[in-house]
Amino acid sequence: MGSLSDLLINIPAVLIALTFHEYAHGIVAYRLGDPTPKYQGRLTLNPMAHLDPLGTLLLIFARFGWAKPVQVNPLNFQGDRVRGMMIVALAGPFTNIVLAYLGGLFLGLMDRGMIPANLIFWKFGISFIWINLVLAVFNLIPVPPLDGSKILAGLIPRGTAMYIYRMEQYGPLILMLLIITGVTGAILGPVVSALVRIIFLATGVSYM
């Protein structure tokens, strides 16, 4: 769990990461023609509209988690529905990666003395980058109901994609088994660490 100060730093980082992730899903679906997220009050940056209690606590303490999924009706999409779902699914992880990059830019400015150095802000920036990247990578795992399954369904032949949709009823169980057995941790650790290093290099952060 770390210290109380670490916890207080992690909480706002988690709230921002989860809120922007789900808002991105909702606004992209809305722009593609589906009013469902708007009717359900998900086109907002108010964290209370997006938080899942268990997923939020896990992200704070276990460094992986999820928010309350945005409900989308692809029948309302203009154009290709499968492609639309893929774009909507990709919007959440992509937004988290962008946020992590912005966090890197903030630390880079501090590292070069362009903004005053502050230990609390530094620790927040590190936590902000890690949490956003963990949320992005975790959701890219191609197991329903995670975003990765919908992205994969949009990339493979339609006939094969049907097997992914049929697996949705078993997805949560499969995902829980992956978490309990440590498979998700084995995936998240190396991938997130590599992405953190890439962002540090890209934004000029010297601390590793």
- Structure-block tokens of residue 196: 């953190």
Any idea which residue has 């992509």 for tokens?
A: 94
DSSP H or E stretch at residue 4: helix 4-31
Contact by Cβ (8 Å): 92, 21: yes
Give yes or no: 22 in active site.
yes
Q: Give CA–CA dist 130/152, Å, rounded.
A: 24
Ramachandran region, residue 41 (left: φ > 0; alpha: ψ -120 to 50; beta: rest):
left
Q: DSSP class of residue 181?
A: T
Report d(CA 176, CA 56) in Å as an integer. 16
In angstroms, the CA 208 to CA 191 distance is 15
**Per the omega criterion (within 30 degrees of 0), is the bond before 145 cis?**
yes
Taking Cα atoms as reference points, which of 142, 139, 141, 119 lies closest to residue 131?
A: 139
Query: How far lies 126's CA from each of 9, 52, 112, in Å?
Result: 10, 24, 16
- The catalytic position among 10, 22, 85, 199 is 22
Catalytic residues: 22
